[in-house]
Amino acid sequence: MHTNTYHLAAGRLLRVWRDKRAQDLVEYALLAAFLTVAVAAIFPMDIAPNISAVFSKVVVIFGLTPSI
């Protein structure tokens, strides 16, 4: 009984291991994560208030109010 269960589990594990259908998605996710870390490391931390100010001006220009 345990041997049969082991073979079924091993077979499923091998099929998942060999399946390449989602490989592109994983590669793009890893690339996005790497770029996020790289951008966070390159840009200075004092740029955040400037970006926030720009978005605040855009909100005022378009007359949008954030919903809380």
53 domain-assigned: yes
Separation of alpha carbons 8 and 15, rounded Å: 11
Residue 56: per-residue pLDDT: 87
Classify residue 67: in a domain, yes or no. no
- C-alpha 55/C-alpha 61 separation (Å) is 10
Looking at the domain assignment, is residue 17 inside a domain?
yes
The answer to the question of residue 48 being in a domain is: yes
User: Can you give the residue range of the structural domain that contains 11?
Assistant: 2-62
Residue 9 is assigned to a structural domain of this protein: yes
What Cα–Cα distance (Å) separates residue 17 from each residue in 5, 12, 20, 22, 49?
18, 9, 8, 11, 45
pTM of the model: 0.42
Domain total of the chain: 1
Per the domain annotation, does 68 fall within a domain? no
| Residue 8 included in any domain | yes
Block mean pLDDT (10 aa), the chain, length 68: 76 79 82 89 79 86 69
pLDDT in tens, 17-31: 777 777 788 889 999
